[in-house]
Amino acid sequence: MGILDCLSPRALVTSLLLLSTVTEDVFARPTVEPKLPWAYKGPSRKKMSNHIRRAMGKKANNETCAKTLAKDITAPKANIWGALSDVETAGVVEWLFAQPELNLTTSDDAGEWDNVIQLVEAMWPNKTDALAYVDGTAAPPTKYAHVLLNNRATETPYYADILVGPLPIDNKTASWEPLTYPYNKNTGDGKVRNLVADSESFYTEWVYKLGAEIADITLDLWNATVMGLENDTLVVWGIDPVWQEDNSIIRWDAFWASSTDLFDSGTLLPLGLYFMTDMTAGRDPSTWKFEGWLYNNIFYETTEAFRAAYWSESAPFEKNLPAIDGEWAWTDQAGEPLPLDEYHPPEQVAPAGARFGIDHKENYVEWQDYSFYISFNRDTGVNLYDIRYKGERILYELGLQEALAHYAGIDPMQSGTAYLDTFYGFGPYAFELVQGYDCPAYATYVNTSFYIAETTHTHINSICLFEATADYPIQRHSTDTFVSITKNNYFVLRSVSTVGNYDYTFTYSFFVDGSISVEVRASGYIQSAYWANNGDYGFHIHDALSGSMHDHVLNFKADFDILGTNNSVELMSMVPATVTYPWSKGKARNTMKLERTFIENETESRFNWGENGATQVLIVNEDEKNKYGEYRGYRVLPYTGTSHLTVKNSSNLLNAAHWAEYDLQFTKQKDTEPRVAHAYNNMDTVDPPVDFAKFFDGECLRKEDLVLWVNLGMHHVPHTGDLPNTVMTTAHSGIQFMPSNYFLSDVSRRTVHQIRIDYEDGVTSHVEEFNKFTSADNITTCKLDYTPVKTNHWNYTGDIVVRKFPFDPNNPFFDTQGIE
């Protein structure tokens, strides 16, 4: 327990008066050219980018630009956060099948009552071991596999996280043990119940039986049935997570029309009929209880009651319109083309080829003064590690933790829905990117892989890396004698995960001023609601549709290491103040001032962006003051809107997503608290594998290794413009991390992509081009052609699969399916 460790004094609240000493007219012309200091002299691990420069120099100048991908470089250290090799995975799988006590069945042969391997992936190393290797001379941490077993050969099916190793597997040394330390479930045995073990029975046996029972009604309402026959045009699916209050397991399911074309419009076709099932009794479908129908906000406890009401002659049954698929729900070009739209729009090219390097084996990237390692896992997709600027680590880890979409509505389907998306996983759905659309045509791509059913699937070209020039400068200033202006060239890593109906585009950007941003944009199909009676929960957006209100909250881990791991969180607020000054002739002046305070411990470390955005959140190193006595640090600030969960104490989520409750949450870094959630938190919302609220046990946060868990998100009330798909212009949330007194001045001054033009009396007197390397040869080191514009899209292939058991590395095949 940290309470006793917390020896820091009570927060020192100091007020600072900012007395401006600038007296000169800021609009006056400078008499001497300002000498712009390049003041930062941090320890440089090595001269970065020298090898990138050499690689660029080697290029023949008749190469076309489209082919000048990132330069091959060599990572300074192995990527200890990287994926298992094919051989390592195959070794683990073979070994697992040889352990009789695990009683495993191969996925192809397994039914609902067999134990299967759900997941095999690299176990992430403890930070302490990782740093000893990355920063020191220690050997790389011993490799283990994180395996998730789906144990269904029992009345009480459960998932079990286990650790297998060391790797590579050797029959003499290999062993497995329950993996418990990263989780905090009360039972603490690395197991969580499986509430979806009988999904197949549910969606076939149970649903088809009910579908047949009310076929007379569905035929009359919609000329459609769901009975497991060829002519089914209805589909049934329901809430997630299932209701788990009071030791009962209840589901609500809804009837939807099937989409009638290749488009994925199913979530736009609700029909307004719902039913309840109580599955508390166990796994056998004969023990499940049908609990009633809901239509038009009227609940019928039995099918007989529903049928009687439906066909009643005395009290005519009120039928509502069904949602009907059509062009309104399809995404292809439609309508009169826009003026001049047939001409090609402007396009960026990379005339010198890529100006960055990647070690494809280690997934290590260098761009200008930045470097980082890429990691990829099933649950959360991309995570970045050891993000450095000029060799100095800024962040140990940065990446998505969990994403929820919490709906509400008059009906139990919308009311009961609060998706926790890592259940489905961001890794399995990080599909191949579309060149020239998701990323510029000149981007460099990285493959990613995930394990499923004794195979490894590779998403080809699923992460892209590229440089771009913003359509606005990073700096400018004009006077009546000169203008100085600098391009905003920045570097991007992007991946897109399509989890069900929604496409999340994740963008990590690195800027020349030392700032870093994380953004998420959403597109794809909304999950709509049936409109009847839903006016308090969404706009009426189509004949039978309500744009079902929902919150998106996406949690990111930002493990800052500012000049070491001893960091503190300083809050600096601008506050209104009434102050009498020696010069104010005894009069109080209404003005404002700064208030500074430190977050002392985990009892006060969860909070929201304050009113009026007046509070700066600074992660500083109190032992690293700059020469003016200010702490060097990084500031965290919203880039575009963010959100936390509106619902308090959600009946759907109970203890499964306490991470969504605030905008910003700081904890002390611990190897036992590596992730905000477990992918199967939705299987036990009362006592989930990871209950984030338990992270807050009062530990000290002054001069400690800190982790920020920050939420991005959107309060989404879909309007007509969300049809057919939500658009990424506005479905957008982002956060920035910016240096705050970290350098002695703006480090973007180093870029040569700036210019100063002096002029007087209508005549240009001097043009200072800072890029001294602008000979024609250097500008065009590759042949500019229009290849990027005409990207060949016939090479989009989808995922490649390699069978692991039996191991068959030489016969890869194509199959793009996240989870079978």
Inter-CA distances, 742 with 20, 44, 501, 550, 697, Å: 21, 16, 42, 39, 31
Q: How far is CA 499 from the centre of its chain?
A: 11
Residue 665's nearest CA partner among 563, 557, 748 is 557
CB atoms within 10 A of CB 820: 9
Read off the DSSP letter of residue 792: -
With tokens 């002519």, the residue in question is 231
Any idea which residues carry the catalytic annotation?
A: 421, 502
Q: Give the chain's radius of gyration (CA, Å).
A: 29
With tokens 């076309």, the residue in question is 64
Question: Which residue number, 181 or 299, has a Cβ lying nearer to ligand NAG?
Answer: 181
Task: Report the site for ligand NAG in 423-462 (rule: CB under 6 A).
Answer: 446-447, 458, 460
Residue 401's nearest CA partner among 685, 681, 121 is 681
Least separation in angstroms between residue 231's CB and ligand NAG is 4
CB atoms within 10 A of CB 38: 12
Q: Which of 623, 630, 760, 785 binds ligand NAG (CB under 6 A)?
A: 623
* Parallel, antiparallel or unpaired: strands 455-469 and 250-257: unpaired
Contact code string over 660-689 relative to ligand NAG, x by CB under 6 A: -----------xx-----------------
Stretch that binds Cu ion, among 206-214, 665-673, 709-717, 771-779 (CB under 5 A): 709-717
Asked if 795 interacts with ligand NAG (CB under 6 A), we say yes
Asked if 732 interacts with Cu ion (CB under 5 A), we say no
Stretch that binds Cu ion, among 377-385, 446-454, 580-588, 714-722 (CB under 5 A): 714-722
CB atoms within 10 A of CB 765: 11
Q: Which of 152, 390, 675, 716 binds Cu ion (CB under 5 A)?
A: 716
Question: Which residue number, 588 or 686, has a Cβ lying nearer to ligand NAG?
Answer: 686
Least separation in angstroms between residue 645's CB and Cu ion is 14
Contact code string over 760-779 relative to ligand NAG, x by CB under 6 A: -------------x-x-xx-
Question: Which residue number, 522 or 664, has a Cβ lying nearer to Cu ion?
Answer: 522
Inter-CA distances, 157 with 149, 153, 491, 723, 790, Å: 10, 7, 46, 40, 52
Residue 692's nearest CA partner among 161, 124, 182 is 182
Residue 775's binding partner, choosing from ligand NAG, Cu ion, none, with beta-carbon cut-off 5 to 8 A by kind?
ligand NAG
Least separation in angstroms between residue 601's CB and ligand NAG is 4
Question: Which residue number, 220 or 760, has a Cβ lying nearer to ligand NAG?
Answer: 220
Q: How far apart are CA 735 and CA 508, in angstroms?
A: 10
Least separation in angstroms between residue 31's CB and ligand NAG is 34
Residue 623's binding partner, choosing from ligand NAG, Cu ion, none, with beta-carbon cut-off 5 to 8 A by kind?
ligand NAG
Q: Which of 17, 98, 138, 686 binds ligand NAG (CB under 6 A)?
A: 98
Question: Which residue number, 515 or 568, has a Cβ lying nearer to ligand NAG?
Answer: 568
Q: How far apart are CA 538 and CA 529, in angstroms?
A: 8
Helix (H) or strand (E) holding 779: helix 776-779
Contact code string over 358-387 relative to ligand NAG, x by CB under 6 A: --x---------------------------
Least separation in angstroms between residue 10's CB and ligand NAG is 6
Query: Total residues contacting Cu ion (rule CB under 5 A)?
Result: 1
Least separation in angstroms between residue 60's CB and ligand NAG is 5
Least separation in angstroms between residue 537's CB and ligand NAG is 20
Asked if 62 interacts with ligand NAG (CB under 6 A), we say yes
Stretch that binds ligand NAG, among 111-119, 366-374, 609-617, 751-759 (CB under 6 A): 111-119
Question: Which residue number, 542 or 716, has a Cβ lying nearer to Cu ion?
Answer: 716
Question: Which residue number, 360 or 540, has a Cβ lying nearer to ligand NAG?
Answer: 360
Phi first, then psi, for residue 813 (nearest 5°) are -140, 165
Asked if 457 interacts with Cu ion (CB under 5 A), we say no
Residue 716's binding partner, choosing from Cu ion, ligand NAG, none, with beta-carbon cut-off 5 to 8 A by kind?
Cu ion
- Residue 243: beta bridge partners? 250
Residue 226's binding partner, choosing from Cu ion, ligand NAG, none, with beta-carbon cut-off 5 to 8 A by kind?
none
Q: How far apart are CA 510 and CA 367, in angstroms?
A: 9
Asked if 6 interacts with ligand NAG (CB under 6 A), we say yes
Reported as half-sphere exposure (CB side, CA atoms, 13 A), residue 716 has a value of 33
Q: Is the dihedral of CA 528, 532, 533, 536 positive or negative?
A: positive
- Residue 263 exposed, middle or buried by CB count within 10 Å (0-12, 13-18, 19+): middle
Task: Report the site for Cu ion in 166-225 (rule: CB under 5 A).
Answer: none
Contact code string over 645-664 relative to ligand NAG, x by CB under 6 A: ----x-x-------------
CB within 8 A of 15, min separation 6: which ones?
Answer: 593, 594, 595, 596
Task: Report the site for ligand NAG in 143-182 (rule: CB under 6 A).
Answer: 153, 171, 181
Reported as half-sphere exposure (CB side, CA atoms, 13 A), residue 468 has a value of 20
Read off the DSSP letter of residue 7: -
Least separation in angstroms between residue 407's CB and Cu ion is 9
Least separation in angstroms between residue 736's CB and ligand NAG is 27
Query: Total residues contacting ligand NAG (rule CB under 6 A)?
Result: 50
- Residue 398 exposed, middle or buried by CB count within 10 Å (0-12, 13-18, 19+): buried
Question: Which residue number, 129 or 758, has a Cβ lying nearer to ligand NAG?
Answer: 129
Residue 798's binding partner, choosing from Cu ion, ligand NAG, none, with beta-carbon cut-off 5 to 8 A by kind?
none
Q: Is the dihedral of CA 378, 379, 382, 383 positive or negative?
A: negative
Helix (H) or strand (E) holding 90: helix 86-97
Least separation in angstroms between residue 251's CB and ligand NAG is 18
Q: Is 332 left (phi over 0), alpha (psi -120 to 50) or beta?
A: beta
Contact code string over 701-730 relative to ligand NAG, x by CB under 6 A: --x---------------------------
Residue 151's binding partner, choosing from Cu ion, ligand NAG, none, with beta-carbon cut-off 5 to 8 A by kind?
none
Q: How far apart are CA 232 and CA 786, in angstroms?
A: 49
Least separation in angstroms between residue 643's CB and ligand NAG is 21
Would you state the structure tokens that stand for residue 69, as one six-digit string? Answer: 């991908």
| CB of 741 closer than 8 Å to CB of 632 | yes
Phi first, then psi, for residue 565 (nearest 5°) are -100, -5
- Residue 522: beta bridge partners? 504
Residue number with the smallest Cβ distance to Cu ion: 716
Read off the DSSP letter of residue 204: I
Contact code string over 572-611 relative to ligand NAG, x by CB under 6 A: ----------------------------xx-xx-------
Least separation in angstroms between residue 718's CB and Cu ion is 7
Question: Which residue number, 260 or 475, has a Cβ lying nearer to ligand NAG?
Answer: 260
CB within 8 A of 794, min separation 6: which ones?
Answer: none
Q: Which of 105, 107, 201, 787 binds ligand NAG (CB under 6 A)?
A: 105
Q: How far apart are CA 236 and CA 226, in angstroms?
A: 8
* Parallel, antiparallel or unpaired: strands 116-122 and 538-542: unpaired
Q: Which of 564, 610, 638, 798 binds ligand NAG (CB under 6 A)?
A: 564
Q: How far apart are CA 657 and CA 404, in angstroms?
A: 8
| CB of 615 closer than 8 Å to CB of 609 | yes
Which residues here bind Cu ion, judged by CB under 5 A?
716
Which residues here bind ligand NAG, judged by CB under 6 A?
3, 6, 10-11, 60, 62, 98, 103, 105, 113-115, 126, 153, 171, 181, 215, 219, 223-225, 229, 231, 245, 360, 446-447, 458, 460, 564, 566, 600-601, 603-604, 623, 649, 651, 671-672, 698, 703, 773, 775, 777-778, 792, 794-795, 800
